Every structure is written in structure tokens, then in C-alpha cells.
């Protein structure tokens, strides 16, 4: 039984059909990349999993139980935590306060100690009393990940974690996420930085226009230059 399994999922924004009969699975302690151009439907897929975008057809199961009719809070309490592209930290709260709010609101799982977050994210340890609005983009991204991780998720969803970050910050984030992965955290990641995603992941799904285009191991994907060129070359930006 997979930790997460989507089968023939269709999702819409209003009347706009965005995801078409999409199927994927994530095993426990696995890191899976969901890849595709901007507008392919990656973010919509994550939002369908968390319940913020309702799926109209198909099934979404977590630990073998359907979560399609559950509320956003209920899905979160089951152990699925999303780090959105927008980060959504509290700008007027300090780093410690951001982590404390996340930890105190944790339900359904035993939260991790805040001090453990500072071990994983040393840069945040030096910024404990800094307010969210005063952090750099990379520091905000690390805080957003730490805020999800302190809730001890069974499944961590990362939506475009390197978006807008300078290359040197991307490398810092890579090291942090490699540390997280080494702690047997299950991750589903969407990412435009293909090499970044491939370095972290074991398997990948490629979606195009909301549909499954390919899935397989990272090793196989690295050998498929045709796929990398056809589906993952950078195109014109559009809403995802």
C-alpha cells in the first residue's frame, strides 16, 4: 500500500479543467519529483491533495483511506503538510514565534522540538528574534520549510522551493533538504529547477497540460534527453 495514491484525478479552477485523469503514488520514506513546464498543473495537483482545490473525479488515498471529501484542516491533521510557493510566513512574528505557532497548532501528530529545527536550519538559529518581513527570500523559504517540518509531517509537499532564490541560496537550501531527506521524511516536490529536483528525488512524474506524460526512476530520466528537452525545457511563463 502506497503512502499516497492518486488515481484518475481531475481538478478544476471554477469551470477551467486543469488536471486530467492524473495518477501517481508516493511510497513511505521516498522522495518523488513532480515535473513539468509552468502551467502543466503541478501546483494544482498539490492543492488537490491538500483539499484547497477540490477534485471532481478520481480518488486520492492516504495510507489507504480516501481523503477526497475531507476538509483542508482534516487532511493537514492526518500528516500532510504543504510548503506553498508563496511561503506564507507571518511577517510580523519572529522566527521563534512563527515556529511556535506552527508547533502549537499541530494536531494529529506529535510535533518536533523547535530546537531541532535550529539544528537543521543553522541560519535560522542566528535569526531567532528577527521578524519574518525582515528575512531574505532564502531565509523565508527555510522558515516556511521549518514551520511545516516542526509539525512532524508524514508527507511533506514542497511547491517550487527554489523559486526566486539566488544560486548560492539554492545550494544552501539543497543541503538543508538533503539533511531532511536523510531523516526519512517522505517528500513530493514540484520544481522548475530540474537538476535540483533530480538530485533530491528517487522517482519522477512528468505531467504535460495536466496529464501524465511519463514516470520512472531518476536514473532512467537522466538518460532520456528527449524527455528532458520535450517536456522540461523552459517555456513561456504561465499560471500553474
* Among 231, 188, 191, CA closest to 207: 231
Could you give the number of structural domains in the chain? 1
- 68-124 confidence digits (pLDDT tens): 989 999 999 999 999 998 889 999 999 999 999 999 988 877 899 999 999 999 999
Is there a domain that residue 240 lies in?
no
Which residue range(s) make up the domain with 159? Answer: 4-232
* Residue 192 belongs to a domain: yes
67 assigned to some structural domain: yes
239: in domain? no
The predicted-structure confidence for 39-70, as pLDDT tens digits, reads as follows 899 999 999 999 999 888 999 999 999 999 89
Give dist(CA 193, CA 173) in Å, integer: 13
Cα→Cα distances 216→24, 176, 203, 238, Å: 11, 25, 6, 26
Residue 236 has pLDDT above 50, yes or no: no
Q: What is the pTM of this model?
A: 0.92
10 falls within a domain: yes
Q: Is residue 38 part of a domain?
A: yes
Q: Is 16 helix (H, G, I), strand (E, B) or coil?
A: strand
CATH number of the structural domain spanning residue 91: 3.40.50.300
Does residue 137 sit within a domain?
A: yes
- Residue 33 makes CB contacts below 8 A (sequence gap 6+) with 189, 190, 191, 197, 198, 200, 201, 203, 204, 205, 218
207 part of a folded domain: yes
Amino acid at each position: 500500500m502506497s503512502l499516497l495514491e492518486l488515481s484518475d484525478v481531475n481538478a478544476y479552477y471554477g469551470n477551467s479543467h486543469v488536471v486530467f485523469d492524473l495518477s501517481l503514488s508516493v511510497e513511505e520514506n521516498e522522495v518523488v519529483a513532480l515535473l513539468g513546464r509552468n502551467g502543466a498543473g503541478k501546483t494544482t495537483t498539490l492543492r488537490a491533495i491538500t483539499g484547497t482545490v477540490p477534485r471532481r473525479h478520481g480518488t486520492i488515498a492516504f495510507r489507504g483511506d480516501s481523503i477526497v471529501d475531507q476538509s483542508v484542516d482534516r487532511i493537514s491533521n492526518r500528516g500532510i503538510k504543504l510548503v506553498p510557493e508563496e511561503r506564507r510566513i507571518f511577517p510580523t512574528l519572529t522566527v521563534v514565534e512563527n515556529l511556535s505557532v506552527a508547533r502549537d497548532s499541530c494536531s494529529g501528530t506529535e510535533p518536533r522540538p523547535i530546537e531541532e529545527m535550529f539544528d537543521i536550519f543553522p541560519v535560522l538559529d542566528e535569526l531567532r528574534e528577527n521578524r519574518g518581513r525582515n528575512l531574505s527570500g532564502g531565509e523565508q523559504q527555510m522558515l516556511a520549510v521549518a514551520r511545516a517540518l516542526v509539525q512532524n509531517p508524514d508527507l511533506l509537499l514542497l511547491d517550487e522551493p527554489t523559486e526566486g532564490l539566488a544560486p548560492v541560496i539554492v545550494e544552501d537550501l539543497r543541503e538543508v533538504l538533503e539533511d531532511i531527506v536523510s531523516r526519512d521524511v517522505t517528500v513530493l516536490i514540484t520544481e522548475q529547477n530540474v537538476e535540483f529536483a533530480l538530485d533530491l528525488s528517487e522517482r519522477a512524474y512528468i505531467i504535460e497540460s495536466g496529464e501524465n506524460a511519463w514516470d520512472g526512476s531518476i536514473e532512467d530520466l537522466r538518460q532520456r534527453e528527449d524527455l528532458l528537452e520535450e517536456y522540461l525545457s523552459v517555456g513561456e511563463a504561465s499560471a500553474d
